Amino acid sequence: MAYVAGDNVTAGDYAVRNSFDVVPTIVELLGEQLPAGLSGRSLLSHR
């Protein structure tokens, strides 16, 4: 279970995700580009 909070994070149920999604989420929150070949998908990518 993970909780992510921030100005650009919309509250809601993001369904079942896995630990591979943590790094892409942090990279997106930092405003950086995701490196090619990175496993997982940002928890924010539903927007």
Task: Record the pTM.
Answer: 0.62
Q: Domain residues of the chain, as ranges?
A: 1-47
Per-residue pLDDT tens over the stretch 33-43: 988 999 998 88
User: pLDDT grade, residue 46 (50/70/90)?
Assistant: low
DSSP letter, residue 34: P
Q: What is the mean pLDDT of the chain?
A: 80
Long-range contacts, stretch 23-29, CB < 8 angstroms, 24+ apart: 29/4
Q: Is the pLDDT of residue 29 over 80?
A: yes
Percent above pLDDT 70 for the chain: 77
Distance between terminal CA atoms of the chain? 20
pLDDT in tens, 12-23: 766 667 888 889
Contact between residue 43 and residue 17 where contact means Cβ atoms under 8 Å apart: yes
